[in-house]
Chains A and B, each alone.
Chain A
């Protein structure tokens, strides 16, 4: 584990959740949280509880839908799946993020800026 973890930027959790669901198909909350942590190579401080608020937000926008099902060990769990609307949203947000990140990167790399 690296010494310093990164705090998640405001508003990016929703994007990460969408991406995770797009990549791996329907998952439950725990799975999503773990998957995000793993994908970030455990470099991310994720307050796992906040994932559920993000899931509520995404459901309110009808970007994901939820359904109860059985997980490992036959436990009951809520499975979340991306909707068509959510897929469009993901594309849009991903593009936004790339542009924002590139812009921030360019400014930071600018030798003229002290």
Chain B
């Protein structure tokens, strides 16, 4: 209907029928010429003359053909096609250039796409929950208490219920019990017994977050009633591993701690809840949180709410503090110490990763910068080699724009191919990262190469094309310059000074960026090493933690003692002890106060990590006993209550005075006091990065049983051997005990360092890559310079300069560029160091050693890059050099 659309359509069709249309045109022209010639012949003109006149009348077959093609097709597209074909031919002709350029690009773009995906998944994109922007995380907070372990951030069920009733800003408040995953259970029935982790969630939590099951159902309110039958939802991972993804499992029962519970559903394949809230923890099943059961357990829950539309986080905070006050007024049983903090859920999940990931993003950007400069340098060098070609084409009538477009097309093709390779590389990296189940980065499992990341790659590609292509294109398209170059080349002069200055600038920038990355990597690595050498207060090496879920009779103190004695007697076992709370994985705290005999009302409570332990634990962990004694078999239910405390707590309570024999209150029932019998070194319970708080240890026979123990064994045996020995040794005591959670303590400590370790590898890798690329750039420019000056060097050597002088000169020239870059780089590093200050551990941002090492590394790379061409220069044979022209 609209003529222009018809025309466009027919022009597009013409693109695919080129040959046929050309053929038609030729036939028509031939017919035309024959008819004209006929006419001339009829007028009596000779045969040859007639044909000639016919052609003259027609007026140029070639022009007519071009006009015909232009009219019928899409000239711009066809021209682009020709440029592309030319670029491809060129690439095939110079495979080495193409390979290096593509490799550099693929790595630069691949890295950036990967880092972008990571940043996007963890920081930029809303957390993968329904209406995520309105979700708030609500937790307990004790003002004035310095350490905040799990007991400090959880609230009582009563508090949760209270604010549920009294708040006005939230549509819904749900909760989960983070302590519940620290508890493990014994899964028996079909197959080997195994240790599994379960989390208690309120029935409304998953619907609130928008998580739906892949099979069966999640929880209903009825499942949370005090006497409801046991019902659980399996994780996808357990369902696949143990039950071979059998959908008929739903509705059947399985045995957990010996009790039959019904499987009502299976979580989705990629479970956003676990990956966001419990990275690096494998939750095996979920069960409904029963308020009436947990009500008497103290602080057990954290809450997630959805704000009503229009309520900002500040409005929610203000409302919640009012709500809490109101709730306390209504019910005096609610803990007077509790207070409440709220923050956007996104911040809770990834807030502490904002800085490290931003830094990583910047580092990746620097690598891309180096890639661009390097590519620009390569293109510039190649452009110099192609000036003759350009000059000839220009002389033959190719327009300046035409040439520039050709160059941009070449560069675009290169970048497009590089981006494609980079994207596949990124897909590989992303796949690698997303299965790192031991890395404590939330949402890592949700990482994938998606539209945003691909879009980012495309934008990067376009940017790179512009940076790398536009510059050389602009330089080369200066036509006057081109004419000059024809003459220049004819003379074979050294020329192109301006061009080599530009290349020099590019290389200096590369070295500068590489130096910044080298310093940053140095600081990151040094921080990491500092952390590796932190005194944890226990020796994680050669220490194995075995999760023992003892149920029923086997958990009676005398049986536990027998078990421990049996383990300690196993060959290869040096020490063994039990604790209910191993470092890194589990923590909780209780309050206690030093008994003041003069003023019994003075009860200055302190919260301290509490562990129920057996004798021998300190020996097994390698925690030094600083004063007093360890627990013995005589510390029984009916003997004097005793406690061992750590150094920090002893100092805080009694300063420099001897703490042994002092009474503390708050641990036993009523007014019973507990006597301090020992002081041990501080343990960094949460891993090397977090300092120790107050700690205390209680002998388990005096406190009561815990269903889930960790047996710590100091041994040189491997995990497998120890497990086999234990299985054999424990058969007579408890044949069903699962031994599936047997880990080295080192692996647990490593887990706390996992995101930092990943960072070290990434930043270190970036720096290594940057140094390599900068060296390549230096090598390129120096080697090119030597080639250009072969004749000059030949003359100088003929005049008596010796090989060493020539070699030294080339290396010096390299170092001159490198030093310029290094200078700029070190200044940049000072800025970068300030940005990364908060990521460092016990290393100054201006750490002299790091700067020195980084500078040495840069200069060493530069020397190597300069040495290779220098050696070539020194070997120039004057006779050969002068003869070649």
Contact = CB atoms under 8 A, between A and B. Distances in A.
Given A52-B64, A60-B10, A33 B24 contact: no
Interface stretch (B26-34, B214-222, B566-574): B26-34
Interface stretch (A4-12, A15-23, A68-76, A102-110): A68-76
Given A47-B59, A49-B59, A49-B63, A60 B28 contact: no
Residue among B32, B57, B58, B68 with max Cβ neighbours from chain A (10 Å):
B32
Nearest to A52: B68
A85 to B, nearest CB: 9
A86 B64 CA distance: 24
Interface of A: 28-31, 33, 47-50, 52-53, 56-57, 59-62, 71-73, 75-78
Given A52-B67, A62-B3, 19 more contacts: A29-B32, A30-B32, A30-B35, A30-B36, A47-B60, A49-B29, A49-B60, A49-B61, A49-B64, A49-B67, A50-B67, A52-B64, A53-B64, A53-B68, A56-B68, A61-B3, A62-B6, A71-B31, A75-B31
A61 B6 contact: yes
B59 A73 contact: no
B7 interface: yes
A71 B35 contact: yes
Contacts of B57: 48
Contacts of A75: 31, 34-35
Interface in B24-59: 24-25, 27-29, 31-32, 34-36, 38, 57-59
Nearest to A31: B35
B31 A29 contact: yes
B60 to A, nearest CB: 6
A78 B28 contact: yes
B282 interface: no
A49 B58 contact: yes
A61 B9 CA distance: 10
B71 interface: yes
B148 interface: no
A2 to B, nearest CB: 17
Nearest to A73: B38
Given A29-B32, A75-B31, A77-B28, A48 B58 contact: yes
A21 B389 CA distance: 49
9 contacts: A29-B32, A30-B35, A47-B60, A49-B58, A52-B25, A52-B64, A53-B67, A53-B70, A72-B38
Interface in B11-31: 11, 24-25, 27-29, 31
A49 B54 CA distance: 11
B857 to A, nearest CB: 65
Contact of A56 (B32, B58, B63, B72): B72
A57 B28 contact: no
A6 to B, nearest CB: 16
B28 A72 contact: no
Nearest to B65: A49
Contact of A33 (B32, B34, B60): B32
Nearest to B62: A49
Nearest to B57: A48
B68 A60 contact: no
Contacts of A52: 25, 28-29, 64, 67-68
Contacts of B71: 53, 56-57
